[in-house]
Chain A
């Protein structure tokens, strides 16, 4: 891997990590596990559209592990990992279908899949299907949050492409 590429990816990882940790300091929007803006997803969507799949996966992995250690919440790693990887796989899948003009749609799909993965992990971990009742709420919140982060990414992509 070229040094420039590696540096860029490291920079993206640290930006995602900072966003992730700052967002944890925000007060909770709703008293339901999983309802949040997911601002760190901005960086993931950007990586999906501007880097190779493998590079995006490395970035997400680094962010997940470091995020869990820095926020002192390693027990939640299984939930965030299930969400993050399902989200990444889904976004890589639809990346070639969705042109950059509709980039926000990719982010919405990512957010929905992220919440789906988290619920699936919760069902497996807690040995109960009770958590599935959160699914509709998380789909609605995921669509709203995903649209927001997607629009942010769209601005970001335009701006970064211009300055490069």
Chain B
């Protein structure tokens, strides 16, 4: 085994290990309760989940697609979307400070502030 190959292997395994540790660290529950909704990099809504009433918010994208955000019992999630993949809906309730709800087609992000 030559030195270059060994170096490549080392780099790959270091990236893998560091990422694995980061993933584990990301799993901890957040202490923040203020969520913000961003579209195309600008903040549309800032919602205090402790005091927010149950409601649904419809956000239209420039492309004509949409996302329906539901706030229910202090939890926030996307309940409906016009995009083809529905990944934002499958992400479910916003739980982690480090893992936001993202809708790539509609350029929408929901995260804790």
Counting contact residues on chain B (CB < 8 A from A), the size range is 20 to 34
Task: Tally chain A residues at the interface, Cβ within 8 Å.
Answer: 33
With contact pairs A109-B12, A112-B15, A127-B40 given, residues A136 and B22 touching in the complex (Cβ less than 8 Å): yes
Segment with Cβ contacts to B, from A41-49, A137-145, A153-161: A137-145
> In the complex, which residue of chain A has the Cβ closest to the Cβ of B41?
A127
A122 within 8 Å of B (CB atoms): yes
Segment with Cβ contacts to B, from A8-16, A25-33, A57-65, A81-89: A25-33
Say whether chain A's binding surface is mostly helix, strand, loop, or mixed: helix
A–B pairs, 8, beta carbons within 8 Å: A31-B87, A32-B99, A72-B84, A76-B104, A76-B105, A126-B102, A127-B40, A130-B38
CB within 8 Å of A: which residues of B? 2, 4-5, 8-9, 12, 15-16, 18-20, 22-23, 26, 38, 40-42, 63, 84-85, 87, 90-92, 98-100, 102, 104-105, 107, 109, 111
CB within 8 Å of B: which residues of A? 28, 31-33, 72-73, 75-76, 79, 94, 97-99, 102, 105, 108-109, 112, 122, 125-128, 130-131, 133-137, 139-140, 143
